[in-house]
Structure 1
Amino acid sequence: MSTNRRDFIKALGLSGVALTAPAIAGANTQVLTAESTDITNLTLKGKVQSNGQGISGVPVTDGINITLTDKNGNYSLLSNKTVQFVYITIPAGYAIPHNKGIAQFFKAIDTKQNSFTANFQLERLERDEKDHVFVVWADPQIISKKDGEALISRSAPDLRDLAANYPAGTLIHAIGCGDLVWDHFELYDDYRQAVNITGVPFFSIIGNHDMDLDARSDDYSASTFKKNFGPTYYSFNRGKVHYIMMDDVFFIGTAKRYIGYFTEQQLQWLEQDLKHVPHGSTIIVSSHIPTNTGVKRRANLKEDELGGVVSNREQLYKILAPYKVHIMSGHTHMNEKWEEGNIMEHVHGTVCGAWWTGPICSDGTPEGYAVYEIQGSEVSWFYKSTGKPKDYQLRIYPRGFLKTAADEVVANVWNWDKQWKIEWFEDGKAKGIMEQRTDFDPWTVELYAGPQLPKKHKWVDPTLTDHLFFAKPSAGAKAIKVVATDRFGKQYSQEIQL
């Protein structure tokens, strides 16, 4: 990893970062200052209903505390005038309200009075939702209209077509996993247009490139994001699965410097949220920065990069201990997975690949997104490469393509985890299991290595990855086939002629 690239994606070593209770921007969308903060009590009240009938037991929150609707669907919550939204946890059995694909589960608060009424209308689903699908778009990260056009013309139709290929009536939602744009907020319109084209309702998460870089502290860094997408942390239910969206990008008050960190207010809110979720349930937690990765191990670093993982992740894991947890994240522009105890984290390859510089991420993962299929409380998944069929799950490089393995063929199996099996065949004869090693994907070296590559963003470099597999063919071998079997028993294969 080059020095320029390190400077780009990591936060500097920091100490003594002051943490304060958030004072959230008011509904007039003006960023509050310390002088203008009003902590006067504010009563939030209203009703959650469907077809005129109140819905009981729906969590309603101001981002600090949570209350439940009563038997008639009514709620009342004592808050204060620092809060910006009142919002609900969409209960199981109801459609996701949205405006042209952007999920609408919140109301902006008018703090001019000492009481604010917000009613929520939900539509009951006509079909069972225990089986459903969701996708994760990590890092669309558009910095120009040209990038926006790529998202609109390539990525969005790909997801639209994928959704159309499921049986009629299949329930599908999506998670925009942060860095929706690249510091250019006028391009949120392009992101919205792409979302609308997909026909899929999206829940969005803030990334480090979605922050207001002129904010004086983290408390105010999400002002523009909130105007466009609402709260930065929230939850909803679909079938037997509880979904939680979190904000783990902590801005330290100087442009483009941040750490991966969950505030105390969020963790306290999460504890309240999970009081209403039975132990043993399947939980999907999504945030932009991975809670953990293999970067430290692969790069032989002494410490984690503060902007690359979540510093207080162990506190999150303690809260999640009673559940079956899948964590969704992006940020790194690499695809990897780790699994320990009750938690599996999916760090996603990106919609933009290597920042729209080429067709693959810096680890060789094609630009694309992950697809998760839910059956009851069970989760299965695959990676969907943009413009490629669903079974495109590996790439084989011929002997000599990677200079560090001159006499070996190399297979990149980008969605690999430790429960996959990678086998190879020489001229039709089974040769056994391929050797897994950490190295650079050969195509990324060709596209991105060196100070003059790529032309668009010269700081992009290849990155070390664990999902490479090696085999040494015999001198007279004519054809090599690789068969990858995933943890669900599905097989994918590719063959090359030598």
Structure 2
Amino acid sequence: MSRLSFVKYGLTLLLIVSCQENGQAEAKAEQTATGYVFHDANNNRKRDAGEKVLPGVRVSNGVEIVSTDEKGQYQLPVTDDTILFVIKPQGWRTPLSKNLTPEFYYIHKPNGSPKTKYAGVKPTGPLPASVDFPLYPQKEPSQFRAIFFGDPQPRDQKEIDFIAHDVIEELVGTDASFGVTLGDILFDDLSLFESQARGIALLGIPWYNVIGNHDINYDAPNDKLSDETFERAFGASYYSFDYGTVHFIALDDIDWIVPEGKKKGKYQGGLGKEQMAFIKNDLKQIPEDQLVVLMMHIPLVDVEDRQELYRLIEKRPFCMSISGHTHHHEHRFITKADGWRGPKPHHHVINVTVSGSWWSGAPDERGIPHTVMADGAPNGYSIITFDGKEYNLDFRAAGRSAKYQMNIMAPEEVTTDQLAETDVLVNIFNGSERSKVEMMIGKSGSWVPMQHHEGIDPSFKKLSESENGVKEKTYRNLPKPKKSTHLWHAKLPKGLKPGTHLLRIRTVEMDGDKLQSGRVIRVLPAKETAATEVTEK
């Protein structure tokens, strides 16, 4: 029997192929799901008499997207492995789970998930006569903030506790409208989804999740079945929603591949035909002057079928994307060198990770590893402010002041005859090739441009060599240093007088943010000690 695709709806006799627990293909009859989107005025999640139906709301089966009619009703084809979901419109919210994860979906798996190490979806039984989606009105200003976590990636409950103490506690009381984890919610132990979600729920805001390569079932025989435990916990592995004037698309770019005759699989970055069809159908209904944000785990430049996605977004003047996965922080500008054909480069953010370098390095006074990332930036998260078509990303270092935005590397002391040969390096954690960085000594000097410098952060190199060289240590080794894209370099100016000086660094970021910090250095007379230092005032 040939494989048939369900790209049209309303046909009840179409046959499709679905994979079962024994890995064999069996024919399943397609059905038509129908239901309503409505204002759940009494908050009981049921459509009661007199409750207002909502026309013009989009609903999807993961490929097709239809809008509810004037009666608030939709129809879509489903198979025995379909997740129906409502695309949350502006000014409304979906129900939330007890852990504040949005419940915007209905899973239709009459026979449930195949047996795997970590449980999937229980049998859902026959398709209900009406699959309804309740919504609740809420205010959504055009300016709002959202929190983005890259790779919290806890191995166990101890590391979930690290997350709670390192980032959750300081974010309690946030004014962000919602948050997103950009994949690698966990580190392979999928039994911990519930515990991780409970901790994040303390923030009191809706929290969306993107699937990562450490969030899938490694014993699945194919990509389609690799998401079963994630689906049980969070629903559809790709979806979209509106908030304010922004359209968000959460992508599943983890393509799980099990070679024929093999039991062990591997992953690569990929979207696949069904998801690409969904993206295409979704964007068809989004105005070109609306800001679109693509959220994924593997960076866009590492997705195998990205060129097809590029064709869908490159003509949009307002579109950005954000990912995690690589455990460093970077602003990428995708150009024709990667096959991009748009009139201007596409801005892709590889987001700072909550787990930093996988919870490695020596523990601090709280018992939490410092887990500095291999590009020299600290672990942490981003807060993005959206305002109409504009957005502004702020970097936050875990457990640090919001003012901690750079690490200035200069010697503690230098003699006057060494000034011109002495390097100053600064790692500006949220910096990019579009940043403007300057240096000044004291208050009466002049601002001197610093040169953008991609390379190894020497402070991280020194730290990793020192810590990794400790014998019988009780913490994990730091990773090898990797090239940082947010380093700047200059030499100390000649003519500084002996004394204690404040070296100042200031930067203007690509979004206009102005940051400034400083480091105290001592200048000594040539070939002498600092017997008569003069403190600058």
The answer to whether the superposition gives a TM-score over 0.5 is yes
The root-mean-square deviation of aligned C-alpha atoms, in Å, is: 2.5
1:41 maps to which of 30, 33, 39? 30
Partners of 1:492 and 1:210 in 2: CA distance: 36
Aligned residue for 1:460? 479
Change over 3 Å in CA distance of 1:214–1:273 after alignment to 2 = same
Aligned residue for 2:288? 279
Change over 3 Å in CA distance of 1:78–1:252 after alignment to 2 = closer
- C-alpha contact (below 8 Å) 1:42/1:116 kept by paired residues: no
TM normalised by structure 1 equals 0.84
Change over 3 Å in CA distance of 1:373–1:31 after alignment to 2 = farther
Task: Tell me if 1:349 matches 2:318.
Answer: no
Aligned residue for 1:425? 440
Task: Tell me if 1:444 matches 2:453.
Answer: no
- Can you give the 5+ residue segments of structure 2 that lack an aligned partner in the other structure? 7-18, 42-50, 111-124, 335-343, 361-369, 414-419, 522-537
Task: Tell me if 1:113 matches 2:126.
Answer: yes
Change over 3 Å in CA distance of 1:413–1:175 after alignment to 2 = same
SS in 1 for 2:66: strand
Change over 3 Å in CA distance of 1:290–1:110 after alignment to 2 = closer
SS in 1 for 2:214: helix
Task: Tell me if 1:335 matches 2:329.
Answer: yes
Aligned residue for 1:103? 102
Give the AA of the match of 1:463: K
Aligned residue for 1:410? 425
Aligned residue for 2:366? none
Residue-by-residue CA offset, 1:170-222 (whole Å, 9 max, x unaligned): x6111110000000112223311221111121110111111111111212111
Residue-by-residue CA offset, 1:83-134 (whole Å, 9 max, x unaligned): 2x11110001112432122111111225343655211111111x34222111
Partners of 2:478 and 2:442 in 1: CA distance: 41
Task: Tell me if 1:360 matches 2:379.
Answer: no
Give the AA of the match of 1:205: V
Change over 3 Å in CA distance of 1:105–1:471 after alignment to 2 = same
Residue-by-residue CA offset, 1:319-360 (whole Å, 9 max, x unaligned): 112321110100000100122426210101101111111342
- Stretch of structure 1 that moved more, 33-42 or 266-275: 33-42
Give the AA of the match of 1:413: I
- C-alpha contact (below 8 Å) 1:208/1:256 kept by paired residues: no
Task: Tell me if 1:196 matches 2:201.
Answer: yes
User: Which protein shows a greater Rg?
Assistant: 2
Aligned residue for 2:76? 77
- C-alpha contact (below 8 Å) 1:333/1:350 kept by paired residues: yes
Give the AA of the match of 2:313: L
- Can you give the 5+ residue segments of structure 1 that lack an aligned partner in the other structure? 1-18, 23-29, 293-308
TM normalised by structure 2 equals 0.78
SS in 2 for 1:71: coil
- C-alpha contact (below 8 Å) 1:38/1:82 kept by paired residues: no
Task: Tell me if 1:497 matches 2:520.
Answer: yes
Partners of 2:350 and 2:380 in 1: CA distance: 13
2:235 maps to which of 230, 239, 243? 230
Sequence identity, in percent? 24
Aligned residue for 1:246? 251
Task: Tell me if 1:215 matches 2:217.
Answer: no
SS in 2 for 1:391: coil
Give the AA of the match of 1:435: Q
Aligned residue for 1:265? 274
2:299 maps to which of 287, 290, 299? 290
Partners of 2:27 and 2:240 in 1: CA distance: 27
Give the AA of the match of 2:462: E
Give the AA of the match of 1:242: H
Give the AA of the match of 1:47: Y
Give the AA of the match of 2:32: T
Partners of 1:383 and 1:31 in 2: CA distance: 45
Give the AA of the match of 1:322: K
Partners of 2:96 and 2:26 in 1: CA distance: 31
SS in 1 for 2:141: coil
The offset of 1:256, in angstroms, is 6.7
- C-alpha contact (below 8 Å) 1:400/1:408 kept by paired residues: no
Residue-by-residue CA offset, 1:295-336 (whole Å, 9 max, x unaligned): xxxxxxxxxxxxxx1122121111112321110100000100
Partners of 2:59 and 2:100 in 1: CA distance: 22
SS in 2 for 1:209: coil
Matched residues, number: 445
Partners of 1:244 and 1:180 in 2: CA distance: 18
